[in-house]
Amino acid sequence: MTLVSEVRLRQILDSRGNRTVEADVRTESGGFGRAAAPSGASTGEYEAIELDPSEAIASAREHAVPRLEGKVFVGDQRDVDRTLRAADGTDDFSEIGANSAVAISMAAAKAAADVLGAPLYQHLGGAFRGEESPTPLGNVVGGGEHAADATAIQEFLSVPVGAPNVQDAVFANAAVHREVHDLLADRDIAAGKGDEGAWAPSIDDEEAFEIVQAATDSVADDFGFEIRFGLDVAAAEMYDEDDEEYVYRDTTRSTDEQIEYVAELVDEYDLAYVEDPLDEDDYEGFAELTEKVGDRTLVCGDDLFVTNVKRLETGIEQGAANSILVKPNQIGTLSDAVDAVELAVENGYQPVISHRSGETEDTTIAHLAVATGAPYIKTGAVGGERTAKLNELIRIEQNVSRL
C-alpha cells in the first residue's frame, strides 16, 4: 500500500486527431502509471459524460486531484474510484468528466501494479487470472457512424472462434481484413478506412455480407480453424423515434421487422455475435430477439447497458440480451466496469471488453479482459492504436504460458 503523491493531467491526441485526456499517477514509493481516455462516435444516450478535455482537466485538478494526492492508496482501486466519484458528486461524471475520471482510474491501477512489480492483469484479477485469453473480434468492414457513404450496419466483425491461441486469432483477423481488401479490388470497388481501420466501401449491406462471408471462409481454410463473423448494428443510430422505425440506406423497418430481419441474418450467415440490434431503450425487443436466437449467438447490449449495473439489472430481469459490452469510459472507472462484468457473469451473460472508435495507444483494456476472464474483446484488426491492444494480448499470453 502506497499513497498517491502526484496526479498530472494533459491533453493528447486520439486516433481521430481529436484531443483527449491523459493522466500520470505517481506514488510515494516510486510507482508510476500512465493512461489515456478513449472517445466514442456512436455513443449511448446513457453513457457517463465526456467533457471538453480542457474543461475536464481543469475540473479534475480542482475537485479530484486534491482528494487523491497524499490521501489515497493506489493499492485500493475501489477507494481510488470512490474518491473520484465523491469528487465529482454526480451520477454521470458531468462535473469532472468521465474522460478525466477514467484516465486517472486506469493510471492509478497501473501505478499500483508497478509498485507490486506485477502485470496489470494480475493486479486487477489476482494471481490465478490469465489462464485463458479472450478471443478478439476484428472490425473488417464498417459504416454507420464510423464512415460516411458506406454500409448502414456499423461493423462487420471477424470472429475466430476456433483459434487455438490469441496470437493465431489476431493474425487471422488481420488476414480477413486483407482478404476483404482483395475481394473488393476484384470487384473494382474502392475503399478507404473508417475510424477503426475497417474498410469502408460504398456498397450496400447485402454485398458486404457476401464479401465478409467469402473472406472469413477463405481465411478459415488457410488457417485450419473456424472463423465466423458478427455485427455491430448500432441500431440506436438508425432508429427514428418519431416514426418508430429503423432507417437503412434504402429501406425502413418496424421493430417487428427489425427483429425478424436480424434473426434471419443469424440463421443465414451463422452469426456468432450481434451487438445493438435494436434501439437503446427497447428492452422488450432485445428480449424477443434473444428468445429467438440467443441459443446460437451472442446478443450483446452496448448502448442498451452502457456498462451500467442498474441498466444491466433491468436487462437481466427482462431477459434482454445475453451479453454486455464493457467500456470503462462509458461508466468512468475500472471498479464500475468490473462490477458490470461480475454481475453479467453471475447471471449467465457473456462480457465483451471493448475499445472505442477514438482510441489511443493505451493497453488497459487488454489487461482488463484477461483480469476478468472475459471470453471476447473488441479491439479492431489494424491500426497502431488497435494493434497496441492486440500485441499486448499476445505478450500477456506468452507471459502466462511461462508461469
The answer to whether the beta carbons of residues 379 and 160 sit under 8 Å apart is: no
| Residue 77 is assigned to a ligand binding site | no
Ranges 128-137, 138-147, 288-297: which has the least confidence? 128-137
Q: Which of 27-41, 146-160, 182-196, 361-375 has the lowest mean pLDDT?
A: 146-160
Mean pLDDT calculated for residue range 262-280: 98
- Give phi and psi for 3, each to the nearest 5: -75, 150
Residue 93: CB partners within 8 Å, gap ≥ 6? 48, 49, 85, 101, 332
Is 181 assigned to a binding site?
no
Mean pLDDT throughout 275-299?
Answer: 98
Closest CA to 259 of 236, 287, 217: 287
Query: Is the predicted pLDDT of residue 346 greater than 60, yes or no?
Result: yes
What's the confidence (pLDDT) of residue 131?
A: 66
Report, as an integer, the average pLDDT of 99-126.
Answer: 95
If one counts every other C-beta atom within 10 angstroms of the C-beta of residue 206, the result is 9
% residues pLDDT > 70 (the chain): 97
CA angle 43, 44, 47 (to 5 degrees): 100
Of 243, 371, 265, 357, residue with least CA distance to 302: 357
54 is in an annotated binding site: no
Question: Would you state the pLDDT for residue 403?
Answer: 57
| Local confidence band at 148 (pLDDT 50, 70, 90 cut-offs) | confident
Q: Please indicate if the annotation marks 275 as binding a ligand.
A: yes
pTM: 0.96
Give the whole-angstrom CA distance, residue 248 versus residue 148: 13
154 is in an annotated binding site: yes
Angle between helices 98-116 and 77-88 (to 10 degrees): 160
Assess whether 196 carries a catalytic annotation: yes
Instruction: With a cut of 80, say whether residue 353 has pLDDT above it.
Output: yes
* 202 in a known ligand binding site: no
Give the domains, in start order, of the chain with CATH numbers.
Answer: 4-117 (3.30.390.10), 135-401 (3.20.20.120)
Q: Convert the pLDDT of each residue in 206-243 to its tens digit.
A: 999 999 999 999 999 999 999 999 999 999 999 999 99
Does residue 276 carry a pLDDT above 60?
yes
β-pair type (239-240, 4-13): unpaired
Q: Which of 22, 95, 179, 196 is catalytic?
A: 196
Residue 128, pLDDT above cutoff 70:
no
- pLDDT given for residue 270 in this prediction: 98
Tell me what pLDDT residue 129 has.
57
* pLDDT value, residue 201: 94
Q: Is 297's pLDDT higher than 60?
A: yes
How many whole angstroms separate alpha carbon 297 and alpha carbon 290? 9
Of 22, 95, 110, 327, which is the active-site residue? 327
- Mean pLDDT across the stretch 131-141? 92
Give the separation between CA 261 and CA 259, rounded to whole angstroms. 5
Q: pLDDT class for 349, splitting at 50, 70, 90?
A: very high
Tens digit of each residue's pLDDT (9 = 90 or more) over 19-43: 999 999 999 999 999 999 999 876 7
397 is in an annotated binding site: no
Residue 302 is assigned to a ligand binding site: yes
Summarised one tens digit per residue, pLDDT across range 303-330 is: 999 999 999 999 999 999 999 999 999 9
- Which pLDDT value is given to residue 104? 98
232 is in an annotated binding site: yes
356 is in an annotated binding site: yes
Which one-letter amino acid corresponds to residue 273?
Y
Strands 191-193 and 199-201, bridge-based pairing: antiparallel
Lowest mean pLDDT among 67-71, 122-126, 237-241, 260-264: 122-126
Angle at 341 between CA 368 and CA 97, to 5 degrees: 70
Q: What is the mean pLDDT of residues 264-268?
A: 98
Distances 19 to 39, 56, 97, 193 between C-alpha atoms, Å = 9, 11, 14, 21
Average pLDDT over residues 325-349: 97
355 is annotated as contributing to ligand binding: yes
Note the residue count of the chain.
403
